Amino acid sequence: VQNIGAYGMEVKDSITKVHTLEIKNKEVRIFSNKDCEFSYRNSTFKKDKEKKFIITKVEFKLSKEPLNKTTYGAIKEELKNLKLKANPGAIAEAVIKIRNRKLPNPKVLGNSGSFFKNPVIETTKFEALKKEFPEMVGYTISNSQTKIAAGWLIENAGLKGYRKADAGVHKNQALVLVNYGNASGTEIINLAKEIQQKVKDKYGISIEPEVSIL
């Protein structure tokens, strides 16, 4: 449970309880939403409690009122192309179509989805970078901080579609690292480190893995 999210929504907004089994003493423990300490792509289960609990069940509370959030990403444009009005079913259809176009099927091409988190930087730094890179994509999250699209950073560092042996960056979505068949875990990690360094060299921004590396 690491607070996945996309298109302006996060799973933390729907989770009420997380049921676990503590590995050390085999005791059942239930965490409330607050206990989970959710944040951007993070929770207590990815920090101090990682590898200490087995999650057995997650309880959700869904809204009875449709949220119809269409302002993020390409959802509004996709709904227009599909000639659909905004409602939960139509938005779900639009998201699925967008994801199917952008993301590789793990049954066909090995991948773990988005490999990197979107970095959060000071808004003053973002504004300075925008002068040099006008097309840089950022989302305001507070008066002083801006979230940068990591996929944009990787793509514009010339790495979209980049491949080293059987480890590569997906041709349609630069956030996704793929295994073309025989890449080892070490080769994937080395590719990730190379990407991190090139992004750091070009923009002065550090990007961190979203995945948990065992």
User: 144 catalytic, yes or no?
Assistant: no
Provide the 3-class DSSP secondary structure of residue 82.
helix
φ, ψ of residue 111 in degrees (nearest 5)? -165, 165
In a 10 Å sphere around its CB, with 0-12 CB exposed, 13-18 middle and 19+ buried, how is residue 162 labelled?
A: buried
Catalytic position from the list 59, 208, 210, 212: 210
Same fold: 5-60 with 110-203: no
The question of whether 127 is a catalytic residue gets the answer no
| pTM for the structure as a whole | 0.77
Domain assignments of the chain as residue spans, ordered by start: 5-60, 65-102, 110-203
10 is catalytic: no
Q: Which of 14, 65, 114, 122 is catalytic?
A: 114
Cα gap 49→195, rounded to integer Å: 29
Domain 5-60 CATH class label: alpha beta
Can you give the pLDDT at residue 35? 96
| Tens place of pLDDT per residue across the chain (214 aa) | 788 888 778 899 999 999 999 999 999 999 999 999 999 889 999 887 778 999 999 999 988 888 777 776 688 888 888 888 888 889 889 988 988 888 888 888 999 889 999 999 999 999 999 999 999 999 898 899 999 999 999 999 999 999 999 999 999 999 999 999 999 999 999 999 999 999 999 999 999 999 888 7
14, 32, 41, 77: which is the annotated catalytic residue? 41
Beta bridge partners of 1: none
CATH code of the domain made up of 110-203: 3.90.78.10
